[in-house]
Structure 1
Amino acid sequence: MAINGRNYDWEDMHVVLPGGEAVGITEIKYSDSQSIEARYGRGAVPRGWGRGNYEASGSMVLDRDEWETFKRSLLGSGGLYDHAPFTIIVAYANNDMGTVIDTLKSCKITKFDGGGASQGDDNASPISCEFTILEPILWNGDAAKKETFSLES
């Protein structure tokens, strides 16, 4: 198999949070799904199918200093879980491959985990954040799910 150049790696990723580009981020993951259920009538073979709800979520791990910057951007008049939905932009770019930009709109933090450290840790107190994504993910500009409702008169 021929080697055709460098692929995307962690160094090629840029993550933009509400407070700006995150440099103290060590992990980000995101996914979406929509279930399909077989619909049965008489007999053992499906006669059709139905769709479940679209769901999207993600997680990230931030160094403590990056977490403090991110936390300040979330705080409003309430607590950390009272923040307004925000956008996360994840861009993959290098000289050998085109730029890919995934957009995670209307994110809401659902869980924080972390704090603390053990003797010998080279990265004390990283914070893990889980989030729900309330709008379809734009996978390099392509919506994962098209809106299907309308209010025609």
Structure 2
Amino acid sequence: MSVNGRAYDWEDITVTLPHGEAAGITEIKYEDGQEITARYGRGSIPRSYGRGNYEASGSMVLDRDEWEKLKKELTVDGGGIYDHAPFTIVVSYANNDMGTVTDTLKNCKITKFSGGGAAQGDDNASPMTCEFTILSPILYNGVPAKKDWSGYTL
């Protein structure tokens, strides 16, 4: 990328949910991590470390019409909203100045919805915030955040 070139912005992001490309999404965030704990012996300097569990989660804000499409897809088998099978969210960043970057959030399970309602004068009534747990390591442009040594798949 050249100096003073255009960086990724919201217009460059495409989010794909189980029902297809999401047009009515106004925010998406995701994070992951693994705790590292220093182990001590004699003295005050760590002599080794231990690893905690890998964890990943995220959230997104959907316009009401986009939420209705997602809700319909999550309940297609006749279950409740929280009874859905894990699903994949794909977030792609692309513009003319930079290459395409694609992050893949596999095996997402919705854990909380909040929002709804509106007030007089709102230009976007009833947006819904969806929080989700990501049950597989995030693939950051094809590179896994954590190698899965378990051999299990969801």
TM-score w.r.t. structure 2 length? 0.94
- 2:101 and 2:63 mapped to 1: Cα distance? 25
The 3 A distance-change label for structure 1 pair 132 and 150 is closer
- 1:26 and 1:13 mapped to 2: Cα distance? 11
- The CA RMSD over aligned residues, in Å, is 1.4
Aligned positions, number: 150
- 1:31 and 1:87 mapped to 2: Cα distance? 15
The amino acid across from 2:12 in the alignment is D
Deviation at 1:44, TM superposition (A): 1.9
Deviation at 1:4, TM superposition (A): 3.2
Segments of structure 1 that go 5 or more residues without pairing to the other structure are none
Deviation at 1:150, TM superposition (A): 6.0
Deviation at 1:34, TM superposition (A): 0.4
Partner of 1:106: 107
TM-score w.r.t. structure 1 length? 0.94
- 2:150 and 2:135 mapped to 1: Cα distance? 16
Moved over 3 A (4+): none
- 2:150 and 2:72 mapped to 1: Cα distance? 36
Partner of 1:127: 128
Deviation at 1:3, TM superposition (A): 4.0
Partner of 1:87: 88
Q: Deviations over 1:99-120 (max 9, x none)?
A: 0000000000000001100111
Percentage of pairs with the same residue: 73
Deviation at 1:77, TM superposition (A): 2.5
Segments of structure 2 that go 5 or more residues without pairing to the other structure are none
The 3 A distance-change label for structure 1 pair 150 and 30 is closer
